[in-house]
Homo-oligomer: A and B are copies of this chain.
């Protein structure tokens, strides 16, 4: 049910012809209220796609009545024309929804837009604009899955998650295999809830959730120009959850979707859970985790099921985190192959047959920790990203 699991939302996913192969490429999510509260988190890349510039402005108002998403083109690095196209897309959505849904008042300034696909190519507006009419006609309380399918690019499966509790629900859909800051293949996420919460609560819960979920997924270290995570509240359940309960539900849905992104990352054969412990600060733990997550030599070793802990230490050594090299420890799948910066338990004790590989790095320098999720580096990743433009 995804974005339509919560009451007050309809959605649709259709093929507008933006993708040359005829696959679904346009999704629409509409909030029918009574609330239209919203929050958003966007890529921290300084080169931002036109729809990111647009939606950042929309979200400042804290009100979003609909989200339109397209795959098949990122509309990034497309200059003034690209921004005009995003604007025209929002105007079209507002016009079509006003025409179709009497009693609702949509205006372009409250329509969020998200795009994903190749950078540097203008969108085929002659296909996208008529597609919005088709999508609006297909809107349904059961349309969440079709919407999740329509935003796929290199995803092999569509990703959805839902948490329900005490009469209210948080649901969502995601595409991509990456993260917010930085992130790989564009990540687009739309979350909806029928809890009766305002934009300030949504913003706080969303930032808190993304900081420890999407922001700690590092599939290939590359940051997208288009990453967008939106959380929309309809208030249709009439329930006002305690903040802690609501925030935890949002975190759970984000965590679930983030794990699905890593599990479907381009060409990956291993999901790597990197836990940094014994850090002087959470920032240190995150910096060390990211450095390990991005070390191509280590990512290759994991692919080869080689418990090459020397590459972990060499990655830790490039950071500014507080640690003494002679006190570092590394465990791979629970075996402490490195202790006190030198050889520990026998590396032959490590089994790496499973898809999930757990690396624990102990800085022995404090009580803080963090978990980063990454993938291995494979020949399939190279193929997928070299054989054609994406």
Interface residues, chain A, with chain B CB atoms under 8 Å away: 45-48, 74, 76-79, 81-82, 118-122, 182, 184, 220-225, 294-297, 300-304, 306, 308-311, 313-319, 323, 325-326, 328, 338, 340-343, 377-379, 381-389
The answer for the CA separation of A326 and B385 in the assembled complex, in Å, is 26
Main secondary structure of the interface of A (DSSP, over half): loop
Residues of B within 8 Å of A377, CB to CB, are 296, 382, 386
Whether B220 lies near A313 (C-beta < 8 A) is no
6 closest residue pairs by CB, A with B = A119-B310, A304-B386, A47-B317, A79-B342, A300-B385, A379-B379
Whether B310 lies near A74 (C-beta < 8 A) is yes
Residues of B within 8 Å of A338, CB to CB, are 77, 120
Whether A119 lies near B314 (C-beta < 8 A) is yes
Residues of B within 8 Å of A220, CB to CB, are 296-297
List 26 A–B pairs whose Cβ atoms lie within 8 Å, in order of A's numbering. A45-B314, A46-B318, A46-B319, A47-B325, A48-B317, A76-B313, A77-B341, A77-B342, A77-B343, A79-B340, A79-B341, A119-B309, A119-B310, A119-B314, A221-B294, A222-B296, A222-B297, A225-B313, A300-B382, A300-B384, A300-B385, A301-B385, A301-B389, A303-B382, A304-B386, A308-B389
The answer for the CA separation of A92 and B310 in the assembled complex, in Å, is 28
Residues of B within 8 Å of A308, CB to CB, are 119, 389
Whether B48 lies near A306 (C-beta < 8 A) is no
Min CB distance A250 to B, Å, is: 27
The answer for the CA separation of A82 and B79 in the assembled complex, in Å, is 57
The answer for the CA separation of A164 and B390 in the assembled complex, in Å, is 49
Whether B295 lies near A222 (C-beta < 8 A) is yes
Nearest chain B residue, comparing its CB with the CB of A377: B382
The answer for the CA separation of A384 and B342 in the assembled complex, in Å, is 25
A46 and B317 contact, Cβ closer than 8 Å, known pairs A82-B342, A301-B385 = yes
Min CB distance A154 to B, Å, is: 11
Residues of B within 8 Å of A300, CB to CB, are 381-382, 384-386
The answer for the CA separation of A246 and B318 in the assembled complex, in Å, is 32
Nearest chain B residue, comparing its CB with the CB of A222: B297
Min CB distance A305 to B, Å, is: 8
Residues of B within 8 Å of A343, CB to CB, are 77-79, 120-122
Whether B314 lies near A224 (C-beta < 8 A) is yes
Min CB distance A233 to B, Å, is: 31
Min CB distance A195 to B, Å, is: 35
Residues of B within 8 Å of A76, CB to CB, are 310, 313-314
Residues of B within 8 Å of A309, CB to CB, are 77, 119-120
Min CB distance A175 to B, Å, is: 17
Min CB distance A377 to B, Å, is: 6
The answer for the CA separation of A388 and B81 in the assembled complex, in Å, is 51
Nearest chain B residue, comparing its CB with the CB of A44: B318
Nearest chain B residue, comparing its CB with the CB of A383: B379
Min CB distance A323 to B, Å, is: 8
The answer for the CA separation of A82 and B328 in the assembled complex, in Å, is 16
Name A389's contact: one of B182, B224, B306 (CB within 8 Å).
B306
Nearest chain B residue, comparing its CB with the CB of A80: B342
The answer for the CA separation of A137 and B45 in the assembled complex, in Å, is 59
Whether A45 lies near B317 (C-beta < 8 A) is yes
Whether A297 lies near B385 (C-beta < 8 A) is yes
A387 and B304 contact, Cβ closer than 8 Å, known pairs A310-B120, A318-B45 = yes
Whether A119 lies near B382 (C-beta < 8 A) is no
Name A317's contact: one of B223, B303, B384 (CB within 8 Å).
B223
